[in-house]
Structure 1
Amino acid sequence: MTAGHAGVHCAVPGTDLLGETPLWCERTRSLLWLDIDGGRLQRFHPATGRHDSFTFDGRYVGSLALAQQPGTVLLGIDLGLFLFDLGTGEQRLLCQVEPADRDNRLNDGRCDARGRFWVGTMDNQLHRPQGAFYRVDPDGRCERLFDDVIVSNTVALSPAQDRLYFSDTRRFTTWQFDLDLDQGTLANKRVFADHTAARLRPDGACVDAQGYLWNAIFAGSRVVRYTPAGEIDRVIDLPVTNPTCVCLGGPGLTTLYITTARKFLDRGRLRQEPLAGSVLSVEVDVPGLPEQRFGTPPSGATRSQP
């Protein structure tokens, strides 16, 4: 914990270049997250302090989801989606979302209650609108929903699974869509939070049990909780410049885990931010929801809200 940031703790010390996509696994009571630029998947067990790291050959490991199959996760490595068995190390290509020679990579994504994965791609140069947003079905079929994206982010679903949130970080805007869960379609795009005046960069997000959206503000040293109407409810200031993503986990799903990045910080700034690249945590009052998993759900387990 750093003075001036009461309630903020260091959950997992680290030096992630681009820590991202924390997810809480209720089955194993562990936290999983990525170091995108480091090409690593990590897993931490708070009860024992065990910290595992899995390294991959791709340039980037940019997307992560829990899978229905025990001990398995869905990983976005560069522009392909792979099923990875944490126990055996087996890695199987599910689908190639975009051609491998395109100068893009997979980024933020989220599963719905039907086991589909909603995920975006982004420009590796961070300024060209050549990314897109996709729905990936459990059988690996991939449907492109829209394009003209620079950096896709903030993919999160409302508790009723009837709204989807999405940001283009480099356009400083978060939108929401109506989601038809039965059809797997999006409609009625509208602005949820407009950061263009302040040029704030909305990054990864999660939704709590009340339907409020927690959003990390990259280069903004804070996370923000928004009401379902898009109004600011709470701001948590952080001792790091670059928070990247959030999730709600822990035994009661009331620990807000925050991944962070050392990327873009010079040595002087890093000396001032010893927690940059670590996973931070804050205890909150409203719990989260169990994370949905990729793959065909067990019979009778397709309800919208767990």
Structure 2
Amino acid sequence: MRIEVLVDVKTHLGEGPLWDVESQRLYWIDSTGANVFRATHQGCEVRAWDMPEPIGSLAIRKNGDGAVVSLRNGFHFLDFATGEVELIIDPEPDKPDNRLNDGKVDKRGRFVAGSMDLKEAGKNASLYRLDPDLTLHKLDDNIIVSNGPCWSPDGETFYFTDSWSREIWAYDYDLETGSVSNRRVFAKVDTVTGASDGSTVDAEGCLWNAQVYDGKLVRYLPDGSVDRVIEMPVKKVSSVMFGGPNLDVLYVTSMGKRHLPTNPHDGVQRGSLFAIYDLGIQGVPENRFGG
């Protein structure tokens, strides 16, 4: 195994790595810096788009040259050609202290993303599903910070974390309706100062979670037990995604800014996009948004 800096862009809050199989391009975001980035699997041909407000996640659209993005004040379409964004719907116009955060797409092309309390203190946030027909549905609530949505390879188990709960949850996921049920604890996050952040699932059905402030990536087996821990060269790791031509490179985002005085300080590699090679594990292709 080897860990390399792929792109050194010093993101304030790097998040949401997304490998698009069709275009063979890697996307990631700077949540508080309000940017979307794109590069090749080798970190070349870097392109950036400015967002009008903080961004929590994005998904590539099945039709057209663009994406759906979760911005602070709602779901929007992003046109890659013009850089323009267009509001789809704001799920929480009555909650100015919230913003949308992490999200991913299910096997039927639905975008599932949650919100977060900006002070990371109150259970004021919710989990939403945006369907291809652009209707919005609430899946869960009483959340502080929505993070780590992903599915088992068959799409029938949905994983999610409220970061400061120090738990990763599993739900039964109905692929026909997009509904969730039977929430239970999938894994306890073994950390004192850190929190569970972004996640992905590999082809063997194991879940990888970035544990921010601890500088760890943890691989959980389908039964929730810990299989492997990777120590990263920075503490503020934020999210993970398999990509590359063979889906066997693990891309890892990180924070370049200390958002609180209690956050750990990282060195010159802070805010970098990392690539981990030679793991001997493949990921699963990410789905595109159907709308």
Larger mean CA deviation between 213-222 and 41-50 belongs to: 41-50
Q: Is the 8 A contact 2:239 2:253 kept in 1?
A: yes
Aligned to 1:253: 247
Aligned to 1:20: 15
> Following the alignment from structure 1 to structure 2, what is the Cα–Cα distance between the partners of residues 176 and 199?
23
| 3-state secondary structure, aligned to 2:75 | strand
Matches within 5 A, 1:125-140: 125-140=119-134
> Following the alignment from structure 2 to structure 1, what is the Cα–Cα distance between the partners of residues 191 and 232?
22
Match of 2:269 among 269, 275, 280: 275
Aligned to 1:300: none
Q: How large is the RMSD of aligned CA atoms in angstroms?
A: 1.8
Query: 1:264: Cα distance to partner?
Result: 2.0
Q: Are 2:98 and 1:104 equivalent residues in the alignment?
A: yes
Aligned to 2:50: 55
> Following the alignment from structure 1 to structure 2, what is the Cα–Cα distance between the partners of residues 293 and 111?
6
Q: 1:137-179 CA distances to partner (integer Å, 9 max, x unpaired)?
A: 1111111122110001110101000000010101111110010
> Following the alignment from structure 1 to structure 2, what is the Cα–Cα distance between the partners of residues 101 and 181?
30
> Following the alignment from structure 1 to structure 2, what is the Cα–Cα distance between the partners of residues 226 and 70?
36
Match of 1:184 among 178, 182, 185: 178
Provide closer, same or farther for how the CA distance between residues 180 and 9 of structure 1 changes in structure 2, counting only shifts above 3 A: same
Q: Is the 8 A contact 1:209 1:286 kept in 2?
A: yes
> Following the alignment from structure 2 to structure 1, what is the Cα–Cα distance between the partners of residues 206 and 43?
31
Match of 1:46 among 41, 48, 53: 41
Query: 1:263: Cα distance to partner?
Result: 2.8
Q: Is the 8 A contact 1:135 1:144 kept in 2?
A: yes
Aligned to 1:33: 28
> Following the alignment from structure 2 to structure 1, what is the Cα–Cα distance between the partners of residues 23 and 189?
37
**Letter of the structure 1 residue corresponding to residue 19 of structure 2:** W
Query: 1:269: Cα distance to partner?
Result: 6.2
Aligned to 1:87: 81
Task: Count the aligned residue pairs.
Answer: 288
Q: Is the 8 A contact 2:211 2:237 kept in 1?
A: yes
> Following the alignment from structure 1 to structure 2, what is the Cα–Cα distance between the partners of residues 236 and 215?
10
Provide closer, same or farther for how the CA distance between residues 107 and 230 of structure 1 changes in structure 2, counting only shifts above 3 A: same
Q: Is the 8 A contact 1:134 1:143 kept in 2?
A: yes
Aligned to 2:288: 293
**Letter of the structure 2 residue corresponding to residue 145 of structure 1:** L
Query: 1:100: Cα distance to partner?
Result: 6.3
Aligned to 2:144: 150
Q: Are 2:192 and 1:198 equivalent residues in the alignment?
A: yes
Aligned to 1:303: none
Q: Is the 8 A contact 2:258 2:264 kept in 1?
A: no
**What TM-score do you get using the length of structure 2 for normalisation?**
0.94
Q: Is the 8 A contact 2:50 2:83 kept in 1?
A: no
Q: Is the 8 A contact 2:171 2:182 kept in 1?
A: yes
> Following the alignment from structure 1 to structure 2, what is the Cα–Cα distance between the partners of residues 53 and 14?
11
Aligned to 1:141: 135
Aligned to 2:117: 123
Q: Is the 8 A contact 1:16 1:260 kept in 2?
A: yes
> Following the alignment from structure 2 to structure 1, what is the Cα–Cα distance between the partners of residues 123 and 94?
18
| 3-state secondary structure, aligned to 1:170 | helix
> Following the alignment from structure 1 to structure 2, what is the Cα–Cα distance between the partners of residues 18 and 234?
25
Unaligned 5+ segments in structure 1 are 1-5, 297-306
> Following the alignment from structure 2 to structure 1, what is the Cα–Cα distance between the partners of residues 73 and 168?
23
Provide closer, same or farther for how the CA distance between residues 48 and 147 of structure 1 changes in structure 2, counting only shifts above 3 A: closer
Aligned to 1:219: 213
Provide closer, same or farther for how the CA distance between residues 197 and 250 of structure 1 changes in structure 2, counting only shifts above 3 A: closer
Percent identity between the aligned chains? 36
